[in-house]
Amino acid sequence: MRGFLKREGKYKLFAILLLTFLIPVGCVQGQLSKDEGEYKNGVVVCAYPDAAQVGLNILKKGGNAVDAAVAVQFALAVTLPEAGNIGGGGFMVYRSGKGETNTLDFREKAPAMAGPNMYLDSAGNVIPGMSLSTHLASGVPGSVDGMVQAHLKYGHLKWEDLVQPAIDLARNGFMITKHLANDLNRTQAEFKKLNEGKIYMIRDTPWKEGDLLVQEDLAKTLEQIRDKGRAGFYEGVVADELVAEMQRGKGLISKTDLQNYHAVWRQALIGNYKEYRIITMPPPSSGGVALLQLLQTVEKYPLSRWGFNRDSTVQLVVEAERRVYADRSKYLGDPDFYKVPVDSLLKPAYNLSRMSNFSWDKATPSVSILPGKFVGYESDQTTHYSIVDRDGNAVSITTTLNGGFGSKIFVKGAGFLLNNEMDDFSSKPGVPNMFGLVGGKANSIQPGKRMLSSMTPTIIEKDGKLFMIVGTPGGSTIITSVFQTILNVIEFNQNMQQAVNSKRFHHQWLPDVVYVEKDALDGDDRLKLEQKGYKIIDSGPSGRVDAILKTKSGYYEGGADPRGDDTKLGW
């Protein structure tokens, strides 16, 4: 099939027609889509098959990429409860078919009653778990306002028609994958401990693949959003339920916090790598700045000659990552509260100078503030989707509840999960968060401030035209996964699916360790690195990259991460 699809001209057209007819069966199961496919009129790549189908349907109905994104966001809130959400937040990077760029920041904010010491005991120590699985862990959700603002500015189809598919999925139910069944089974005890009343995800017998998950409360909440837009979430019955839930668990989010929440349009952060133009997310994400720093640091080295995941490539990339994550811990935070020195961090001379103490002979030791702790985790807790439409409009969105199922606390009666995004703040200088990341003043907790993120939704242009749409979940590994996926295509000549599949590695300054996916490194390369003092630790799957590449023939090729249920559909 692959060789067949690669042929030009009429064969390609025939292949597209053939695929169009095959899609209804193959793609919903995520099978055909996992292999090969190039499409002319649009592609949706996201983390759950039913949500990808919703997005594709919207594109086929004449919706644009933003319409499809709104529909996918709500569909994921139903079908991917680990990460899809209306109770969380995220970032959108947008590029129109004509080249206009923009970003939308719908990241959660600290409630007005939040403060820098809210997770500390009387001795000034961080109280374990408080920023993760309590009502105090939640920031004011941004996703619904984000979708409303995105639709107001760029949407084409009617709002109701974009929310309705999610309502149908919640009310009629959908068949769960093995992955989701496992996640639900793993979380039963916590769901029971933290919640009251009817929770649709709790049941006495274990969940299994193919079971139907019906969420009537969530369907009703989504109807409020369908009928009233922003007011259907930040005011009225849903807001009442959310605030009542906060009161049940001594949380801080108030009616005023909800009313005051507004997503923010921010100018895209733009940089270059060779002949490519990188359009990415500015602060309060650290992702865009870090990605551009990494690209600047490695640009002058002959990566393609060294080869994919060979020792020299890994060594250079690790040393670049070490330095960039050190900067992240000190300089990155919410630009509305802290003057982030973006220009200084993105001076090529600065990033080159950071490598002056780099030696090929041995690993540079990370200067330790406090040893970080890196929690092994799967990347189900955040989700990324990439969409392109027939006019070449491109959307790259990463959205999250932070931990898997967020705080694991449902808003009683409203059927949706609350985020635990407050853990992304620095609870205390130098004390690592759940991803082992440390921070200080730039990312301290202040009322109304947005917590620093690593989410790195990105769009790349070549010769003034759309080239790639990319992003991933994965906490602190997001930045390095996006970085490596870009290098895989540009330097190592991989197609989109190969670039997504390729094994990844990660270093984040602290702890001073290189995490590698199984079989990411050849035995010899690994040995050479270890002899130079690199501490290499095997890790589980890292990230779920969902990306789209415009191929030389002008078609779009999706890359759906086989590490999850990720699915690519196109037409």
Sites of contact with ligand DON (CB under 6 A): 379, 381-382, 400, 402, 421, 424, 453-455, 473-475, 478
Least separation in angstroms between residue 507's CB and ligand DON is 17
Least separation in angstroms between residue 479's CB and ligand DON is 9
Closer to ligand DON by CB, 507 or 526: give it: 507
Which string of b and e fits 475-492 if b means at least 16 CB within 10 Å? bbbbbbbbbbbbbbbbbb
Asked if 438 contacts 96 with a C-beta cutoff of 8 angstroms, the reply is: no
Least separation in angstroms between residue 515's CB and ligand DON is 14
Least separation in angstroms between residue 143's CB and ligand DON is 13
Nearest Cα residue to 147 out of 245, 77, 59: 77
Least separation in angstroms between residue 168's CB and ligand DON is 27
**Which pair of tokens denotes residue 114?**
């939040």
How far apart (Å, rounded) are the C-alpha atoms in residues 45 and 546?
6
Closer to ligand DON by CB, 439 or 570: give it: 439
Q: What is the dihedral of CA 68, 70, 73, 78, to 10 degrees?
A: -90
Closer to ligand DON by CB, 114 or 219: give it: 114
Closer to ligand DON by CB, 217 or 421: give it: 421
How far apart (Å, rounded) are the C-alpha atoms in residues 523 and 528?
9
Least separation in angstroms between residue 556's CB and ligand DON is 25
**Which pair of tokens denotes residue 189?**
């005890």
End-to-end CA gap in the chain: 16
Which residue among the candidates 101, 187, 280, 382 is catalytic per the annotation? 382
**Which pair of tokens denotes residue 382?**
């955040």
Asked if 398 contacts 383 with a C-beta cutoff of 8 angstroms, the reply is: yes
Closer to ligand DON by CB, 400 or 501: give it: 400
Closer to ligand DON by CB, 163 or 478: give it: 478
User: Strand 514-517 to strand 536-539: parallel, antiparallel, or no bridges (unpaired)?
Assistant: parallel
Asked if 242 contacts 253 with a C-beta cutoff of 8 angstroms, the reply is: yes
Task: Give the rounded distance of the alpha carbon of 311 from its chain centre.
Answer: 28
DSSP 479-519: HHHHHHHHHHHHTT---HHHHHHS--EE--SSS--EEEETT
Closer to ligand DON by CB, 380 or 461: give it: 380
Residues 6+ apart with CB under 8 A from 247: none
Establish whether 551 is a catalytic residue: no
Closer to ligand DON by CB, 307 or 541: give it: 541
Least separation in angstroms between residue 90's CB and ligand DON is 8
How far apart (Å, rounded) are the C-alpha atoms in residues 287 and 294?
10
Least separation in angstroms between residue 400's CB and ligand DON is 5
H helix count then E strand count, the chain: 19, 19
How far apart (Å, rounded) are the C-alpha atoms in residues 505 and 526?
12
For the chain, the 3-state helix, strand and coil shares in percent, each to the nearest 5, are: 40, 15, 45
Give the residue carrying structure tokens 């690195």. Answer: 529
Q: Report the catalytic residues.
A: 382
